[in-house]
């Protein structure tokens, strides 16, 4: 939903990523035993901005915010659900994809952030299947075009009604002069394993593919006559539910609304504070460690629900990152700080590790994995400052490892009685939170010498001072009190002086060394091309395809290959 109570400095309405089913305008969520139905029924007049109608189940960022919320609620509030039926609430149309008028009128920054969030939401559907056993079946009852088919591609199983007209298509190139930018190209080749020549034909034809050919080319898993469609859907849901490891009647928890107070230059959560230094183009995110010990057992964790510290912190950090991404475009760098007892953070890690077979502990770990990936994929410079009284331990130490640059203070500050800066590692740093490239942040850091990962693992649970952390390669620089202020200031001033475009390209390339995965391809190769194409006049110029779509005028292309 849009927070109409607050306006940005430029007068525009702030986009809020917090919602709940009572506020949905575009989705209907129904749970029946171990099967949930998520029906897309987009309100044409429910767009985030003026100037377009969301016809034919087309979507904008607001539609995807609700979808992302629904998937999270199924994971946390309905652990008994084993299968999600993803379908349309409208007759004879599944989804026409991203709204073209929205794309044509949106700023470049909004288009990029829209595509990124949509990609993360599709990845969240796939992660729910892989990590939690929450399978998704997509039932297509009409046209699934562009982003509509890309939504289907995120599912485990795609069913297409065989009625002579229903089809799947990725028509962005011939119609809009852009790409299926929410992972379509990559999922067709890497996930569905469609032949390259078939994929080339499929992605260059407007009308798409239907019926028998769609199955033969691996674009869908089955086509079903209209008279048998509903029965086939029910049967397939039963088949998938029988094989899912999820469920067993567990009681879920309510994802209560976040406590959040917003001022002109700050946002205050229960565990997180965000402050903006706008002249310096900085946002500082300060995380607070737990105030007490972990609960006595898993039942006590369940009773705490969304107030359980690791989950509360993850949700608040996620909201803060999304807010900066879409609403604070002039921020050049995000500075991470923390305060609290590192031993307590390690104790919570140990508690979650000991209860890793419990569904809630598992879902919290996977939530942290997704939040940390979102940080990796955020196009801002990331810097972590490890200072006295910090609690960058275990899970929170991932923010040190995720940073483009990290600084750690040696010893104490003059006339300051806070304990010296320390960091510590836990089991969580060695496999629980992989990056998009499939590696841990430590493994990505030490590609040249994997033995350094083993050296770090030998230090699990130990408090590491600045010089030891620097020797182990866990921080970039260890600085004494004399140099600290100048080192940090110069770095941040330098970062704010560089080209934002150049920095985005630099950071995105440096963060994901090592192997390539479907996910890293989507966010690196595909996204980079799409971002470039979205700036080209062939797409967005006055005579470009996005601007002329639906006018009856053909686009005028600059025919030179670049």
Domain borders along the chain are: 2-241, 261-510
> What pLDDT sits at residue 417?
86
CB 537 within 8 A of CB 559: no
CB 391 within 8 A of CB 461: no
Residue 412's pLDDT band, with cuts at 50, 70 and 90, is confident
Given this chain, do its domains 2-241 and 261-510 carry the same CATH topology? yes
Question: Which CATH number describes the domain made up of 2-241?
Answer: 3.90.226.10
Q: How far apart are the first and last CA of the chain?
A: 40
Dihedral (CA of 144, 145, 146, 148) sign? negative
Q: How far is CA 456 from CA 339, 364, 405, in A?
A: 23, 24, 19
- Flag whether pLDDT at 3 surpasses 70: no
> What pLDDT sits at residue 249?
74
Listed residue (48, 12, 531, 15) closest to 324, CA to CA: 15
> What pLDDT sits at residue 413?
87
Q: What is the mean pLDDT of residues 419-431?
A: 96
pLDDT tens track for 521-535 = 999 889 889 999 999
Give the gyration radius of the chain's Cα atoms. 24
In the numeric block, the tokens 């300051």 are attached to 416
The tokens for 101 are 């008028």
**Residue 406 bridge partners (DSSP):** 384
**Long-range contact list for 290-295, CB < 8 A, 24+ apart?**
290/340, 290/341, 290/344, 290/345, 290/347, 290/348, 292/344, 293/344, 293/347, 294/347, 294/348, 294/350, 294/351, 295/351
Listed residue (119, 17, 129, 65) closest to 436, CA to CA: 119
Question: Which CATH number describes the domain made up of 261-510?
Answer: 3.90.226.10
Buried b (16+ CB within 10 A) or exposed e, 380-414: bbbbbbbbbbbbbbbbbbbbbbbbbbbbbbbeeee
In the numeric block, the tokens 């300060």 are attached to 286
Q: How far is CA 62 from CA 220, 222, 457, in A?
A: 27, 31, 43
Question: What percentage of the chain exceeds 70 in pLDDT?
Answer: 98
Cα separation, 492 vs 278, whole angstroms: 13
Q: What is the mean pLDDT of residues 22-50?
A: 97
Q: What is the mean pLDDT of residues 494-502?
A: 95
- Flag whether pLDDT at 269 surpasses 80: yes
Cα separation, 426 vs 345, whole angstroms: 10
Q: How far is CA 45 from the centre of its chain?
A: 26
Burial of 245 (0-12, 13-18, 19+ CB in 10 A): exposed
pLDDT tens track for 147-178 = 999 999 999 999 999 999 999 999 999 999 99
pLDDT tens track for 89-121 = 999 999 999 999 999 999 999 999 999 999 999
pLDDT tens track for 116-139 = 999 999 999 999 999 999 999 999
- The SS3 assignment for 417 reads coil
Residue 10's pLDDT band, with cuts at 50, 70 and 90, is very low
The tokens for 468 are 């030891």
Dihedral (CA of 172, 534, 127, 308) sign? negative
Cα separation, 464 vs 232, whole angstroms: 58
DSSP 265: T
Q: Percentage helix, strand, coil, to 5, in the chain? A: 45, 20, 40
Indicate which residues carry an active-site annotation: 150, 172
- The SS3 assignment for 174 reads helix
In the numeric block, the tokens 């892989």 are attached to 130
- Identify how many contiguous H helices and E strands the chain contains and give both numbers: 23, 19
Q: What is the mean pLDDT of residues 411-419?
A: 86
- Flag whether pLDDT at 12 surpasses 80: no
Phi, psi for residue 485 in degrees, rounded to 5: -60, -45
Buried b (16+ CB within 10 A) or exposed e, 453-464: beebeebeeeeb
Cα separation, 542 vs 540, whole angstroms: 7
> What pLDDT sits at residue 13?
83
The vertex-555 CA angle with 95 and 168, nearest 5°, equals 25
Residue 1's pLDDT band, with cuts at 50, 70 and 90, is very low
């Amino acid at each position: 939903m849009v927070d109409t109570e607050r306006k940005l400095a430029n007068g525009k309405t702030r986009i809020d990523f917090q919602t709940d089913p009572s506020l949905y305008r575009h989705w209907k969520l129904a749970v029946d035993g171990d099967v949930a139905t998520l029906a897309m029924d987009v309100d044409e007049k429910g767009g985030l901005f003026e100037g377009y109608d969301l016809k034919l189940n087309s979507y904008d960022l607001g539609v995807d915010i609700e979808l992302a919320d629904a998937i999270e609620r199924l994971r946390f509030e309905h652990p008994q659900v084993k299968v999600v039926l993803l379908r349309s609430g409208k007759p004879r149309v599944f989804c026409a994809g991203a709204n073209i008028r929205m794309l044509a009128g949106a700023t470049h920054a909004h288009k990029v952030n829209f595509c990124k969030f949509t990609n993360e939401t599709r990845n969240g559907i796939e992660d729910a299947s892989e990590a939690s056993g929450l399978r998704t079946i997509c039932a297509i009852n009409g046209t699934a075009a562009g982003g509509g088919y890309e939504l289907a591609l995120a599912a485990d199983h795609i069913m297409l009604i065989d009625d002579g007209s229903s089809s799947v298509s990725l028509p962005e190139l011939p119609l809009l002069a852009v790409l299926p930018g929410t992972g379509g190209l990559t999922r067709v080749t890497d996930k569905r394993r469609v032949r390259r020549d078939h994929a080339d034909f499929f992605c260059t034809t407007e009308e798409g593919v239907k019926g028998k050919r769609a199955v033969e080319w691996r674009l869908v898993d089955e086509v079903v006559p209209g008279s048998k469609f509903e029965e086939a859907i029910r049967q397939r849901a039963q088949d998938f539910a029988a094989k899912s490891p999820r469920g067993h009647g567990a009681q879920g928890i309510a994802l209560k609304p976040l406590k959040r107070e917003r001022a002109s230059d700050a946002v205050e959560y229960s565990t997180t504070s965000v402050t903006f230094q706008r002249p310096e183009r900085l946002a500082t995110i300060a995380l607070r460690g737990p105030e007490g010990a972990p609960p006595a057992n898993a039942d006590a964790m369940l009773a705490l629900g969304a107030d359980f510290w690791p989950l509360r912190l993850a949700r608040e950090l996620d909201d803060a990152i999304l807010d900066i991404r879409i609403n604070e475009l002039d921020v050049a760098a995000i500075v991470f700080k923390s305060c609290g007892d590192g031993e307590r953070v390690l104790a919570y890690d140990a508690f979650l590790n000991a209860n890793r077979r419990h569904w809630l502990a598992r879902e919290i770990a996977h939530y942290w994995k997704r939040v940390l990936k979102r940080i990796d994929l955020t196009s801002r410079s990331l810097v972590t400052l490890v200072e006295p009284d910090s609690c960058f331990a275990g899970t929170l130490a991932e923010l040190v490892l995720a940073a483009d640059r990290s600084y750690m203070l040696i010893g104490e500050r003059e006339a300051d009685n806070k304990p010296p800066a320390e960091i510590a590692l836990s089991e969580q740093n060695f496999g629980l939170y992989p990056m998009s490239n499939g590696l841990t942040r430590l493994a990505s850091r030490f590609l040249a010498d994997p033995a350094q990962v083993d050296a770090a693992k030998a230090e699990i649970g130990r408090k590491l001072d600045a010089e030891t952390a620097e020797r182990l390669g866990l921080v970039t620089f260890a600085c004494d009190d004399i140099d600290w202020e100048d080192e940090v200031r110069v770095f941040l001033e330098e970062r704010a002086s560089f080209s934002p475009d150049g920095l985005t390209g630099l950071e995105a390339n440096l963060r994901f060394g090592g192997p390539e995965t479907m996910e890293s391809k989507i966010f690196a190769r595909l996204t980079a091309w799409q971002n470039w194409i979205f700036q080209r006049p062939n797409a967005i110029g006055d005579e470009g395809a996005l601007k002329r779509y639906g006018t009856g005028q053909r686009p005028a292309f600059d025919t030179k290959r670049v």
